[in-house]
Structure 1
Amino acid sequence: MKKILLLFIALTFNNIQAQEIKTMTYFQNDSIKLDLDLYLPKKKANEKIPLIIFAFGGGFSGGERTGEKDFGIFMAKNGYAVASISYTLYMKGKDFGCKGSLTEKVKAIQLGVSDMWQATSFLIENANKYNLDTSKIFISGISAGAEIGFHASFWDYKLMNLYQNNLPQNFKYAGFIGGSGAIMDINLITKEKAIPMLLAHGNNDNTVPYNAGSHRSCPTNASGWMILFGSYAVYNHMNELHKDIELITFCGGGHEFSGYLFHQGQQYVLDFVNDVLKGKRFESHVIIPSEKKGAGNGKYLFCE
């Protein structure tokens, strides 16, 4: 029994040593200081490491970059670096719902996206120090973080960035992994700008629409009304463009599935980034019945 226990401890120690976690400040000005946690795999000589940048969820008012530590460790054990970033929580103390301001909602997203671009620039500038492959940078996020990921991937960087323009010219993320996210203008995703995507979403999500719809299901006369195009709308659009996308739909599920890919579905993420880097083409729609199946309103009949 003692030998088994010692072996377990040794294996656990070796797994911990298989990666390291570094915390660093990626952006600072007179009013804000933003950090990131960089999960690094065990280094191999002369081999550059692909990177996944992650943004947490929380409605731009809460959340912590340390919340997905298990995801960072899992990917590092499998040869990927993960940078989990802090970003501006502009909506803290404000209403991000139907009674809020559309202008404030857009500004919250723009600030988060600008922070994501700053983090990306910082990591590119320090790539040699951490052995990162700047041609293989993925972007990912949950809910609000996925909205950051969508817009950081497709907004005009020079037009929308609130800080200095310091990303390489023609920079493009290698792929996007999003949990229950959405984009304000689906036409931003063009054939030229499209990148491979792995998305997961509950089709009965009343917070971030699964298809095209209003944020938080707000009525059109609400001050905080904002149209969003969710994962299913993006999936259909990408199919029309003949671009690579995988969608996981939780039939009857709500916003509680926003973190699935980074918790129970980590293997989906690993398979996705491996497939993208191998140049594999794909288009798939996985439907998973949720515990709430039958509670839906029958709006998306393909789930039945």
Structure 2
Amino acid sequence: MKNIKIFLTLIMIVCACIANAQVSFEPDSIVTYKSTAQGDLKMTIFKPKKYKVSDDSPVIVFFFGGGWSGGSTDQFYQQARYFSDKGYLAISAEYRIFSKHKTSPFESVTDAKSAVRWIRAHASELGVNPNKLIASGGSAGGHIAACTGVIEGYDEEGEDLKISSVPNAMILFNPVLDTTEKGYGVKKVGEDRKTDISPCNHVHLGIPPTLIFHGTADKTVPFENAERFAFLMNEVGNTCELVSFEGEDHGFFNGSFFRKNSTDEVFNITMKKSFEFLNGLHL
């Protein structure tokens, strides 16, 4: 029986690899959206089939995970291509991280806000609807995506603040939602600023509708943080749906493109539920 299970798992992995080989996960274009003292930041863009600038399509921007220290845009290439195949313009965006830019989580949050604002400012050039913009990301990337909708301030100096950096909805994958000792990142944000960019500490009415995917056995970002955030969101009258994955640890959501030894079973579930959520919001 054990050998049969191993064989079936191998078959699933091979089938996933064959399927992925038939799909291009390379971006259709790359643009610079922000210049900083530490270097330019780019967006990798995935376009819908038969794309036209006049489409006025919805748009989603993904931010990779890595503890605000590492990571790369290709973590969300598979999700981006999936969304583009459904008619969205999908973007996986860079932001400043410690390993490359020697910056803190605070600069990461500022860059996420800049990314949302840049997309809206260039909506006509991109062919997207500025009022159908979704912010998404995983772990630390989920944190900065959440901050675009929750945390006030931390805007880049010189940007047009008349253009909103708040998305219309958020889809978050095991996001950091508490940067105090109850969650993740207190050493990186500092004891004296541990609640400054901690979403759980800033929940208020008017935060965009939010969907959260989180593993119950997450040893990096406690599942309790997601439960608490969802409770606080709904308590004040916001929409927040938490989808739990029993026994799953951190990073469980990655598809077979980014995590080569993974099947796409969980990936497909998260994508299906994402579209059910967005369809309910007419986004």
Deviation per CA, 1:228-266: give whole Å up to 9, x if none: xx2111111122123322211122322132547993321
- The aligned length equals 232
Instruction: Tell me, in whole angstroms, the C-alpha distance in 2 between the residues paired with 1:116 and 1:147.
Output: 10
**Given the alignment, which residue of 17, 25, 34 partners 1:27?**
34
The TM-score, its normalising length taken from structure 2, stands at 0.73
Q: Given residue 207 of structure 2, which amino acid in structure 1 is its aligned partner? A: A
One-letter code aligned to 1:28: S
Given candidates 113, 118, 123, the residue that maps to 1:122 is: 118
* Helix, strand or coil at the partner of 1:166: coil
- For 2:213, give the aligned amino acid: A
Specify the alignment match of 1:300 in structure 2: none
- 1:240 equivalent to 2:235? Answer yes
Mapped to 1, the partners of 2:53 and 2:140 lie a distance apart of 37
Instruction: Pick which of 243-252 and 77-86 moved more.
Output: 243-252
- Tell me the equivalent position of 1:59: 67
Q: Is residue 263 of structure 1 aligned with residue 271 of structure 2?
A: no
8 Å contact from structure 1 (residues 57, 63) kept in 2: yes
Q: Offset of 1:144 from its aligned partner?
A: 0.7
Matches within 5 A, 1:121-160: 121-157=117-153, 160=154
Query: Which residue of structure 2 aligns with residue 299 of structure 1?
Result: none
Aligned partner of 2:180 in structure 1 is none
Aligned 8 A contact 1:142 1:259 in 2 = no
Checking the alignment, whether the CA contact within 8 Å between 1:143 and 1:181 is kept in structure 2 is yes
Q: Let me know the Cα RMSD of the aligned residues.
A: 2.9
**TM superposition shift of 1:162:** 4.3
Distance 1:267 1:26, change over 3 A: same
Aligned in 2, Cα 1:167/1:266: closer, same or farther, shift over 3 Å? farther
Runs of 5+ consecutive residues of structure 1 not aligned to the other structure: 1-11, 95-106, 212-229, 279-304
Distance in 2 (alpha carbons) for counterparts of 1:89 and 1:73: 24
Letter in 2 for 1:255: H
Report the Cα offset of residue 43 of structure 1. Answer: 3.0
The corresponding residue for 1:272 is 277
State the distance in 2 between where 1:170 and 1:86 align: 19
Decide whether the 8 Å contact of 1:143 with 1:258 is kept in 2: no
- Say whether the 8 Å CA contact 2:253–2:267 is kept in structure 1: no
User: How far 1:119 sits from its partner (Å)?
Assistant: 1.5
Cα distance in 1 for residues equivalent to 2:162 and 2:277: 25
8 Å CA contact 1:174, 1:195 repeated in 2: yes
Q: Deviations over 1:246-299 (max 9, x none)?
A: 211122322132547993321222222222126xxxxxxxxxxxxxxxxxxxxx
| C-alpha distance 254-45 of structure 1, shift in aligned 2 (>3 A) | closer
Counterparts of 1:108 and 1:232, CA distance in 2 = 26
**C-alpha distance in 1 between matches for 2:203 and 2:158:** 24
Q: Residue 89 of structure 1 aligns with which residue?
A: 97
Percent of aligned pairs with the same amino acid: 24
The offset of 1:209, in angstroms, is 1.7
Separation in 2, partners of 1:202, 1:144: 15
Q: Secondary structure at the match of 1:256?
A: coil
**C-alpha offsets along residues 149-170 of structure 1, whole Å, 9 cap, x if unaligned?**
111211113xx22443324355
